[in-house]
Structure 1
Amino acid sequence: MRNVLLVGVLVSLLGCGQGDTLERISGPTMGSSYTVQYVRTPQGPAPEQVKREVEAILEGVDKRFSTYRSDSLTETFNRLPANSCQPMPADVLELVRVGEQLSQQSDGAFDLTVEPLLDLWGFGPQSRMEKVPSEQALASARQRVGHGHLRIVGEQLCKDAPVEVDFNSIAAGHAVDLLVERLQALGVADLLVEATGELKAVGRKPDGSHWKVAVELPRDDRQIAQQVLAVDGFGVSTSGDYRNYFEENGQRYSHTFDARLGRPVKHDLAAVTVFDRSTLMADGYSTLLLVLGPQQGWDFALKHQIAAVFVTRVADGFVSRSTPVFEQVIRQ
């Protein structure tokens, strides 16, 4: 899974009253972890039921989207040759459509089919070692990349080239949205859900205060909170390039790829945080903006009215700037 920059969730157990308590469950998921915090009311579901529901949803997401388990629907599709189709659940097809939207909006910079490139450079599930590939190997891998090789036919996902899909840039955000929707259906009104760093908060804590998240300042050695923000009704995603990288011959290569070039991006944008009502879209847009870089990403965010914070490297550290929509969101 791509690295994220959210330090975590700042919560308080003070002020609980009228039979409401703050419950917390957590565990492993998608190669990382999840945390669910919610206000339990006397009429609400028992913690044991919440945990069962949450883990069932996360297990289902892993079985559909994981690139690290050979029995997932995604990896089964990836092993198919060109000119093949495979029946897929509705949400897999939904994420393919979201990937197509993001690919078109970014002129192909964002692409769900970059797994062969990730493997080649040492960042993917089938990678052997981190290294700069030869031009010949790079040209060969690029023949197996391109969202245009995918198409949806009825309830099937088809491909006309041996492409491999990788949903890691949007699957966690999707999982968070599924969890929030399910818990709300169970009668949980106030909650904060986090999976692999993507999160969404709705409502308030038992004492009436907002859920709060800390956005991390990019550092290789330790975590430093840059901003602490109140969140209500928004998904939050942060993408960064400063932890998952390697160096060769004095050159730094991150795991953030521009699909149009077939290689890691070369710019000074270190991290992007996005707020969106859909955690799925926050997840996708944070990746897309990081791929585009400090200026193209900024222009894209302004054009598409995205609530985003950009953290850029400068000679003496980092500078950050936020879009007008982001400033509006945090003032709500």
Structure 2
Amino acid sequence: MAGAVLRGDEDLLTGRWSGLVVLAGVLSGCGNGDSLERFDGPTMGSRYSIQYVRHSSTPGPKAVQAEVENILAEVDRQFSTYRSDSDTVRFNALPAGRCQVMPGPVLELIRVGEQLSSQSDGSFDLTVEPLLNLWGFGPQAREEKVPSAKALAEVQQRVGHSHLRIDGDQLCKDAAVEVDFNSIAAGYAVDTIAAKLEGQGIQNYLAEVTGELKAAGKKLDGSPWRIALEEPRDDQLVAQKIIAVDGYAVSTSGDYRNYFQQNGRRYSHTFDARTGAPVLHALASVTVIHPSALMADGLSTLLLILGPERGWDYAETHDIGAFFVIRADTGFVTRTNQAFERLAGEKTK
């Protein structure tokens, strides 16, 4: 197996593990002047990569890369929780009862977050950053530890999408909430890049940002873009399932690379906003296929939060293509629904 290994160690804007491997394609031309162009670079504490088939009428890689990096820079300026001048950090610093004019993309993602929060009965929530910091996973975290009941109760008063309100071009808060777009911003970036590529006449491409990806068309040799879903192991890469993707985004969320242990119990960075605590169920990872990278990104996180039973029922009810990896006494077991099989031309290893 070769190709770009899409891996990190933490969440979006500081890097994230994706569980996805892009299998290598043909890098030479086909005799008709076409070529497979590829470039990558750092972004949001992790990496991005672009592959596309170039025809005589499509732009060269330097021009395309400049457009892509402009998009990524703007996404970082709007959504980063690690730079003091971002729109998100400036909003998070506001006290309760204040509003701030926000760019359209930020308001768009707030609305998506509200939808996902409502559909998950509040388990998924964009305002969990105070909880992440409290438990040791956020940008302002001091140490990884189980907080006291008193500290948890205090922080939970500042968590909940109901504390947010959009007023025209302003985002308002009625409590000192802090938003965190880690679960959907990379997917939004991929969708934006894909739209830019298609607007430039590029129809055959694979775009990936911090592990979120979307593929369309074919590779240079006419074969489909193929993605290997990685088995959740720390010691090596093992392709558990290989899927062919055309016109869809793929997102994997997992809870087993960013965690700590205390008193024999394992606490991951995946939070249920209703309880204010990391999830404790047996679902290790979820891969979602969806036409929108934004929605694939958010839904993979939502299903991971809900767990192996509630998450499965949600995916079935909403016809979401999902691939579940569940912990068992003997290792891991997998579960794939019909929607996933319908959307991906899959080959199981």
Q: TM-score, normalised by structure 2?
A: 0.93
Runs of 4+ in 1 over 6 A off after TM superposition: none
Aligned: 1:152 with 2:174? no
Q: TM-score, normalised by structure 1?
A: 0.98
Distance 1:107 1:241 in 2: 21
1:35 and 1:239, CA in 2 relative to 1: closer, same or farther beyond 3 A? same
Aligned to 1:236: 250
How many residues of Structure 1 are paired with residues of Structure 2 in the alignment? 332
Aligned to 1:285: 299
Indicate if the aligned counterparts of 1:113 and 1:166 stay in contact, CA closer than 8 A: yes
Per-residue CA deviation, residues 283-305 of structure 1 (Å, 9 max, x unaligned), is 00000000000000000000000
> Unmatched 5+ residue regions in structure 1?
none
Per-residue CA deviation, residues 200-241 of structure 1 (Å, 9 max, x unaligned), is 001001111101111110112222111111100000000001
Indicate if the aligned counterparts of 2:28 and 2:35 stay in contact, CA closer than 8 A: no
- Equivalent residue in structure 2 for 1:27, among 41, 53, 76: 41
Distance 2:120 2:261 in 1: 27
- Equivalent residue in structure 1 for 2:108, among 94, 118, 122: 94
SS at 1:252 equivalent:
strand
Aligned amino acid, residue 278 of structure 1:
S
Distance 1:127 1:170 in 2: 21
> Unmatched 5+ residue regions in structure 2?
1-10
Aligned to 1:128: 142
Aligned to 2:337: 323
Deviation larger for 221-230 or 128-137: 221-230
Q: How does 1:18-97 map to 2 (within 5 A)?
A: 18-97=32-111
Indicate if the aligned counterparts of 1:199 and 1:237 stay in contact, CA closer than 8 A: yes
Aligned amino acid, residue 63 of structure 1:
R
Aligned to 1:188: 202
- Equivalent residue in structure 2 for 1:247, among 261, 264, 273: 261
Alpha-carbon RMSD: 1.1
Aligned amino acid, residue 101 of structure 1:
Q
Distance 1:25 1:62 in 2: 19
1:14 deviates by 5.2
1:15 deviates by 6.1
Indicate if the aligned counterparts of 1:10 and 1:213 stay in contact, CA closer than 8 A: no
1:25 deviates by 0.6
Aligned to 1:226: 240
Q: Percent identity?
A: 63
1:9 deviates by 4.0
Distance 2:181 2:28 in 1: 39
